[in-house]
Amino acid sequence: MKNYPKARAVLVYGGFNNNLIEGSYYRCVDWIEDVARMLDNKAFSDFITVLWNIWNSRNNRVFHDVEEKAKVTWERAAALSQDFRIFNILEKPMLPKPVVENMSFGLVVMDHDGFVLGGRTGVMDKNVQAK
C-alpha cells in the first residue's frame, strides 16, 4: 500500500517521516508491524485510520472515477479520528462509567424430574463481589 503513489502522497502530506515510508517489505503486514514498533498507541491508531481513508479514496477512484487530492484524504482521516475520539479505547473514557451499587439475582426451582416449580428475581441494594 505504501508503494501506491496516492498513498505515498497522503503519508508525505501528513508528515510521516521517511522511516515509515521507505524500506522494502515482502508483505504489507511486515511494514505495518514496523510502523507499530515506531509509533505509540494513539499515533498508530491514527495511522490505521489514514490507511483506511487511503483505501476508500482508491476505491472511489476505481469504482466511481472520483479523484481527490492527498490533502482531502488526509483531512478526512484527521476529522474521522477527531470525531470518534470518544470511542477511542486506547485512552481513558471522556465520561466515566457510573458505579452500580446494587446486585440482582435469579432463582429457578425444579423437582427431581426437571419440572419447574417456580422462580424468582430481585435486586438488592448491596455491592458484592462475584465470588
Above 80 in pLDDT, residue 7?
yes
Position 63 scores a pLDDT of 93
Cell 524500506 sits on residue: 23
Position 64 scores a pLDDT of 93
For residues 108 and 95, the answer to whether their CB atoms sit within 8 Å is no
26-66 pLDDT, tens per residue? 888 888 888 888 888 778 888 888 889 999 998 998 999 99
**Domain extent listing, the chain:** 5-87
Beta bridge partners of 107: 120
Question: Coil, helix or strand for 131?
Answer: coil
96-130 pLDDT, tens per residue? 666 666 777 788 888 888 888 888 888 877 766 66
56-80 pLDDT, tens per residue? 998 998 999 998 899 999 899 888 8
